Structure 1
Amino acid sequence: MVVAAAVVVALLIGAFAFGSRRVRQAGRVRPGPEEQPRMPEGGPVREVREDREPDEMPTGEGRLTPHEMKGRGNSGTRTGAAQERPRWDEGSSGGFGSGGPGAR
């Protein structure tokens, strides 16, 4: 039993050593300067912040299946009418249970 266990352990260690040597020999070639990512011609891409609102659900006769809806069943959105970011009230604490004075 002990000899069989030693043989199994030796085989596992040998397989690990053989596999790691093969990976090391294959090596990964580093990309050259021409393969490096480039900045877009228009300059860096910036983040766009906008409020979105859901598209209207189509009304009509009967049910619509997901493949009949716009966006393949996913809820579509469009740019919202109001683009102002919501702010906290000045007298508000801003968080539930934070111990602030609360509403005026």
Structure 2
Amino acid sequence: MSFHVETEQKNSVLCVRLQGELDHHTASAVRDKVDEALANPQIKHILLNAEGLTFMDSSGIGVILGRYKKLQARGGELVICTVSSSVYRLLEMAGLFKVLRLEEGEDHALRTLGEAV
């Protein structure tokens, strides 16, 4: 299956939309693309839209935690929205919901981050 990552900046929020399988083959592409965008000091938060994410393994968890730590250092937050049940179970088992917030959809998540939709 092919993988695609799309990023869009909305004021201080970097929206990251994932499509396909986030695994050890694709994790570096996500890491590189997001880190390149995070070079912009205006970005304070990341909204990770997992609506198109069909599979994720521990490599994906590592990418998410690494970006979370970068945002935490600059006083920001990483929010995840629109997760499938299988990805939800993985994130829950990994304990990510103890440090990350889950929202229903992208528009709602943007509002909770203080960005108008």
Please give the TM-score of this superposition, normalised by the length of structure 2: 0.16
Which one has more relative contact order, counting CA pairs under 8 Å at least 6 apart?
2
The answer to which structure has the higher helix fraction is: 2
Q: Which structure would you say has the larger Rg?
A: 1
